[in-house]
Every structure is written in C-alpha cells, then in structure tokens.
C-alpha cells in the first residue's frame, strides 16, 4: 500500500513538474543571481554547510547575499528576518535551527530570511537590502522561484533512502550507479529519481565515509528519458572548530586549544542523519562513550539535558559533544557537565571549479 501511495504521489509530482516545464505554472525571477541548494530525498544530506559555502563564495565576490529558507521546525509563521547581515535577530524557536545556525556562521556575509513564500520574500529583501544574489535553501522542489543554478546534494552513505550503498563504480559513463529508492511515503524520495536530471550540479556529501574516492552519475535512473550531463563534485564534512557551549552562546567563536583533552565524551544531536555525526567523530579519532539521538529539529527542554547527562555519567563520559545546529537551541538550559560545540567544515573535491560554476551562474 505504501508503494502504491508512493507511485501515486510520484505521478502527481511529475504532473506538477510538467506544468512548470510547459509554462502553465509560472516560475518567477527573483531579480538577482539565484542559486538553489536542495535535495531529492528527505532527511539530512549535509546541505546546510554547502549553503553557507556558496554564500561565502558570493560574499567574497562582493555580492549582497540573502539566504531564503522556509525555516523548518520553527514555531513562528509568516516572514521572519533571522539576520540583517550584522546581527542574529531571533532565536531558533522563532527562526528555525538551521536558519539561525547559518545566520551565526555568516555574520557580515549574508542576510537570512525565513518565509515559505520565497518569491515574495525575495522582492521584500531586494527592496530593503539591495540584494544582488539569492541562495535558496532547500529549493530544488520550490519551482515557483526561478534559479540560475540548481545544485542537488546526495548523501553518499544513504543516497536515495535504501540504506548504505557501496559505491565502487568509477568512470564518466557509469549508468544507474545508485539503486532507485521509493517515493514518499514508501521511501525517502521527494520525487521520482529521474527528476534529478533537472539539476545543473550534484554534490555527493559525506564522500569520505564510504570506501570509494570518486563518483560519477551520468544517467540518474534507468528510465530517464535523456542522458543527463552534470557538473559533479564530492564533498567531505569534517569536524571544524570546537567551541565551549558557554562561549558559543555568547557569540564567541574562539576554539579550544588543540592540546585540550576531551576524555571520553557523550555525543547528542537532532539531525536528519544523526548516524553521520557519530561516524564523523569516530573517523576523527574522538573517544565516544555513547550517543543520544533526537528527531530532526527537536527543541530541547531542561529534562532532555538531565536525561543526557545521566546517560553520559553512567557510561563514564567526562564531557558532552553536540553540533552547531543543536547548540542554537540550548540557550538558557543548564548543564552540569562540560559541553562542546563542533562546527562542521566542508571540503570539496574541486573548489576552484565549483567557485567558477557559482560565479558564472
């Protein structure tokens, strides 16, 4: 029954896409260079670090950058100015965890606006701030907004929702490299797999967590009706700076000393792909005594912290570790154990080519 429902949902999505392709449904120009970063699956694919990476490229090229995001998980509605480019103006409950995370990371580089209607939000931001470049966060399915460059993220550890896949095919002519998953609600695909052919570029994230060092997608599915030509990149997500939670909450970005000894640590997170965080910590030789995983966008309460610290103490942990996406939701909560925030850094396979692609859009 779920597969039947997924097939029906996929048909509806394809009809919608066809109406956009034929001009029955209108796509609207945002009046400035527009780059979309999105997924073809639900769940975390490491998209947020790439959004920040693209915004930084544009800012370094003297563009006035605005990130347009829906702001999943926020308790507010309508339009929220998360950051005016100089200050973070709201908390994670109001602006959403990922928008606030982006706003903190991109102070002095990008304005962040949360609004489900990104066409209207773009017009408002362009008039108010003189925006010259927009980055659509999670914009692949948001076809109402025209874009100059469509980038899709694919998680190497779970490409299309069927679990871990060993990617051992290398070469420019590979076809059907990834097995097709199932469309919602039967699987994690937001739309049929062949629609990835709309993308201009594919970034395989968490490429360092699988054995193969190179990936190629030339035809995204057996039933694609044409050969898709992609700009193709692989990316590794690394633990970057490590910051004490109290410093993070005060807006300080000073990392702890490289010689600091964490001792056994307990990791907790609320991510779309929480297993990836644990794997990244293990890959980088951190001693992890245990983990706690919450649903994506979970809003932490004090009783969550009490439970986490109790588990950590029982397992002999001396400190807690979490992500920046989680840390923006921990303001005002009390900790009895030291807690550290790991910021995620992105490393692309060909940063020069990627930069040229972004700036030529």
- Series of mean pLDDT values for 10-residue runs along the chain (361 residues): 88 95 96 96 87 97 98 92 97 95 96 97 98 97 96 85 44 39 87 89 84 44 48 83 88 66 86 82 84 93 97 95 94 94 88 96 89
Let me know whether 149 and 290 are in one domain.
no
pLDDT of residue 72: 86
pLDDT of residue 174: 31
50 close to 192: Cβ distance less than 8 angstroms: no
Sequence-separated (6 or more) residues with CB below 8 Å from residue 131: 32, 64, 65, 66, 111, 122, 125
What total of structural domains would you count in the chain?
2
Let me know whether 292 and 196 are in one domain.
no
Q: Tell me which residue range forms the domain holding 178.
A: 2-236+348-360
pTM for the model: 0.88
pLDDT of residue 180: 55
311 close to 266: Cβ distance less than 8 angstroms: yes
144-166 burial, b at 16+ Cβ within 10 Å, e below that, comes to ebebbbbbbbbbbbbbbbeeeee
Let me know whether 195 and 163 are in one domain.
yes
pLDDT of residue 298: 94
pLDDT of residue 158: 77
Let me know whether 66 and 201 are in one domain.
yes
Let me know whether 82 and 71 are in one domain.
yes
Cα 39 to Cα 41: distance, rounded to the nearest angstrom: 5
Rg (CA), the chain: 20
Let me know whether 242 and 219 are in one domain.
no
Cα 284 to Cα 281: distance, rounded to the nearest angstrom: 5
HEC-encoded secondary structure of the chain: CHHHHHHHHHHHHHHHHHHHHCCCCCCECCCCEEEEEEECECCCCCHHHHHHHHHHHHHHCCCCEEEEECCCCCCCCCCEEEECCCCECCCHHHHCHHHHHHHHHCCCCEEEEECCCHHHHHHHHHHHHCCCEEEEECCCCCCCECCCEEEEEEECCCCCCCCCCCCCCCCCCCECCCCCCCECCCCCECCCHHHHHHCCEEEEECHHHCCCCCCCCCECCCCCCCCCCCEEEEEEEEEEEEEEHHHHHCCCCCCCCCCCCCCCEEEEECCCCHHHHHHHHHHCCCCEEEEEECCCCCCCCHHHHHHHHHHHHHCCCCEEEEEHHHHCCCCCCCCCCCEEEEEEEEEECCHHHHHHHHHHC
Let me know whether 66 and 101 are in one domain.
yes
Residue 12 CB coordination number (10 Å): 12
Let me know whether 30 and 121 are in one domain.
yes
Let me know whether 249 and 320 are in one domain.
yes
Let me know whether 182 and 288 are in one domain.
no
pLDDT of residue 160: 77
- What CATH number is attached to the domain comprising 290? 3.40.50
Let me know whether 292 and 201 are in one domain.
no
Let me know whether 277 and 177 are in one domain.
no
pLDDT of residue 208: 77
pLDDT of residue 187: 86
């Amino acid at each position: 029954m779920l597969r039947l429902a997924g097939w029906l949902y996929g048909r509806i999505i394809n009809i919608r896409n066809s109406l956009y392709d034929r001009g029955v449904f209108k796509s609207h120009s945002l009046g400035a260079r527009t780059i979309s970063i999105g997924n073809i699956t639900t769940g975390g694919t490491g998209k947020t670090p790439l959004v920040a990476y693209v915004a930084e490229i544009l800012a370094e090229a003297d563009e006035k950058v605005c990130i347009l995001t829906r702001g999943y998980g926020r308790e507010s509605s309508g339009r929220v100015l998360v950051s005016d480019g100089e200050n973070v103006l709201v908390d994670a409950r109001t602006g959403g965890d990922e928008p606030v995370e982006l706003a903190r990371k991109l102070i002095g580089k990008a304005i962040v606006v949360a609004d489900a209607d990104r066409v209207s939000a773009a017009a408002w931001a362009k008039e108010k701030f003189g925006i010259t470049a927009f980055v659509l966060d999670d914009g692949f399915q948001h076809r109402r907004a025209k874009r100059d460059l469509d980038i899709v993220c694919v998680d190497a550890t779970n490409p299309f929702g069927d679990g871990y896949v060993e990617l051992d095919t290398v070469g420019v002519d590979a076809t059907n490299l990834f097995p097709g998953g199932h469309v919602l609600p039967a699987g994690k695909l937001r739309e049929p797999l062949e629609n990835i052919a709309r993308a201009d570029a594919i970034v395989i994230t968490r490429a360092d967590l699988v054995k193969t060092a190179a990936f190629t997608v030339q035809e995204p599915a057996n039933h694609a009706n044409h050969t898709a030509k992609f700009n193709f990149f692989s990316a590794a997500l690394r633990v970057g700076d490590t910051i004490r939670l109290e410093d993070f909450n005060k807006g300080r970005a000073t990392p702890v000393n490289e010689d600091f000894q964490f001792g056994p640590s307990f990791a907790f997170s609320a991510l779309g792909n929480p297993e990836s965080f644990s794997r990244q910590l293990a890959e980088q030789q951190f001693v992890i005594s245990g983990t706690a995983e919450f649903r994506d966008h979970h809003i932490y309460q004090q009783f969550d912290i009490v439970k986490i610290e109790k588990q950590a103490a029982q397992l002999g942990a001396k400190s807690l570790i979490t992500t920046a996406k989680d840390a923006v939701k921990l303001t005002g909560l009390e900790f009895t154990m030291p807690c550290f925030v790991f910021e995620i850094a992105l490393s692309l396979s060909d940063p020069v080519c990627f930069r040229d692609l972004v700036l030529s859009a």
